[in-house]
Amino acid sequence: MDEPRIAQVYAAAELLVACLRDGGAVHICGNGGSAADAQHIAAELAGRFLRDRRALACSALTTNTSALTAIGNDYSYDAVFARQVEAVVRPGDVVWIISTSGGSPSVLAAAKAARARQAKVLGFTGGEGGAMPPLCDVCFIAPAETTYAIQQLHQIAYHAICDIVERTVCP
């Protein structure tokens, strides 16, 4: 990974460490493969990554199918994550948004809802970043153009972040 990406990884880890040390929670969302990544990250932080340690407050907004389908039906699919952010996110929490294009309307709406709740936003995207970077406190932009390559680089980055967070919050 090049120097700017390494700096983004460390900045992302610092954002999560500050949140978790202050008693906040991390909420993650994305669509398709990014939804799977959201669930993967939440499991690494709430459960364990490499070390036995206390559980860290982390959840994926992609897992409640009743909420997703009800919100999608009653409002629109674009609101499926934002509505959940409005329900559970508190000031000081982190909303981690994942979109390989940086342009997913449901993910961008979650970032805007997080800002309205005075939460921090961590973004993961690729290519040129799309519309995501200005909405984020920290944004990891994978230097790739294809979805599969972006997702592979995301996985390397979020595993590094999980390791840093785990070692720092629960030494």
pTM, 2 dp: 0.97
pLDDT the model gives residue 104: 98
* pLDDT, tens digit only, all 171 positions of the chain: 788 899 999 999 999 999 999 999 999 999 999 999 999 999 999 999 999 999 999 999 999 999 999 999 999 999 999 999 999 999 999 999 999 999 999 999 999 999 999 999 999 999 999 999 999 999 999 999 999 999 999 999 999 999 999 999 998
- C-alpha triplet 77, 45, 83: angle, nearest 5°: 20
Task: Write the CATH number for 33.
Answer: 3.40.50.10490
Six token digits for residue 105: 């309307």
Six token digits for residue 97: 């948004």
pLDDT the model gives residue 159: 98
Q: Classify residue 112 as exposed, middle or buried by CB count within 10 Å of its CB (0-12, 13-18, 19+).
A: middle
Residues of the domain holding 14 = 3-169
pLDDT the model gives residue 136: 98
Residue 81's nearest CA partner among 116, 46, 108 is 108
Q: Which residue has the tokens 């961008």?
A: 108
**Secondary structure of residue 60 in the 3-state scheme:** strand
Structural domain count, the chain: 1
pLDDT the model gives residue 6: 94
